[in-house]
Amino acid sequence: MQLIWISGSTDRVRKINITAQSIAKLVAIVCAVMVLLGAGIHFLGLRIAVEVRPDLARAMGGVVTEAQMLAIEDGYRQRLEALQSQLTSVSEKLNELKTLKDRFADIATPAPVKSKLNDKSDGKGGPFKPIQFKLNKPASLSDDLDHTLNTAQLLHDGVIKMSATWQNQFAWLNQLPIGSPIEDRVGLTSNYGPRVDPFTKTLAFHSGIDFSAPAGTSVLASGNGKVMKVARDPAYGIYIEIEHADGFMSKYAHVRATFVKEGQTVTRGQKIAEVGSTGRSTSPHLHYEIARNGNAINPMQALVYYDRVANLK
């Protein structure tokens, strides 16, 4: 085939011979250019995408370079390590808290039932083992993350269990007569044990402790319990008996007025009476007794300063 045309400016006649061979050559060149152009656009497009929208570029087909991947992984690892050290510090704080709680519980538990404290505590009684959030050996990011998540779950479960145990322990302590039986116990006049009886002037066993206080001072339940007796007796005068947990009984004597009835439940710190001088008493005071399973015990063994106990709340 032959193409003939006339050049506009010079009016010269031009002609080209088109052969099958020259067409094949042209097609090959055009194809090569198209492929190169396509590849160029593709490459350029992804380069831009990687810089502008890395997530999109990744989605378009694994085009993140090794360096970029390492940088991304490094970012995640740094965040994971921060999380691990935070969790480690949380578990350490929990250990400190448990030690503190054990000390308070020990102070607040009357000597006759100290052994029971261990039954009520978290099994072994000792501190938790320190929790290891970091793997000892270097591991892949995903293994390390899995380990951290599993350990955090264990910590969470442990805290839930611990919280239930502590609540039981606190409820138990609340039922023991360990609080102050009087609003303002400044005048402890007579201690538990043998003493000269102020009436008979002979040696007699004093089965409680006396708090001298102005008539009308509030008498308080020393622990949660049930009022078993509100009565009058020639020796004790007007008195109240409260039954607590674990065989404990507390008794408040010589009061002038009572504010509870038999069978009523009371909580620690509740006003149950007012100091008086009824019965065998020389001046207004509260005679306070504690018995366990029917045997008198020294109230000083059970009495805990109320402000210390309050810290357990």
CB of residue 222 vs Zn ion: minimum separation in angstroms? 15
- Pick the binder of Zn ion from 210, 241, 274, 289 (CB under 5 A): 210
Parallel, antiparallel, or unpaired: how do β-strands 257-258 and 225-233 relate? unpaired
Stretch that binds Zn ion, among 51-59, 132-140, 150-158, 204-212 (CB under 5 A): 204-212
CB of residue 285 vs Zn ion: minimum separation in angstroms? 7
d(CA 260, CA 275): 14
Parallel, antiparallel, or unpaired: how do β-strands 225-233 and 265-266 relate? antiparallel
By C-beta, is 76 or 205 nearer to Zn ion?
205
Alpha-helical runs (H) found in 109-187: 114-120, 141-174
d(CA 266, CA 224): 6
d(CA 90, CA 159): 11
Q: Which helix (H) or strand (E) holds 16?
A: strand 13-17
- The size of the interface with Zn ion (CB under 5 A), counted in residues, is 2
Stretch that binds Zn ion, among 96-104, 150-158, 174-182, 285-293 (CB under 5 A): 285-293
User: Half-sphere exposure (CA, 13 Å, Cβ side) for 291?
Assistant: 12
d(CA 6, CA 212): 135
Residue nearest to Zn ion (CB): 287
By C-beta, is 78 or 189 nearer to Zn ion?
189
Would you state the structure tokens that stand for residue 312, as one six-digit string? 């357990």
By C-beta, is 242 or 309 nearer to Zn ion?
242
> Can residue 289 be called a binding residue for Zn ion (CB under 5 A)?
no
By C-beta, is 185 or 287 nearer to Zn ion?
287
| Subset of 120-159 contacting Zn ion (CB under 5 A) | none
d(CA 174, CA 244): 9
- Pick the binder of Zn ion from 287, 298, 304, 309 (CB under 5 A): 287
Residues lying near Zn ion in the complex (CB under 5 A) are found at 210, 287
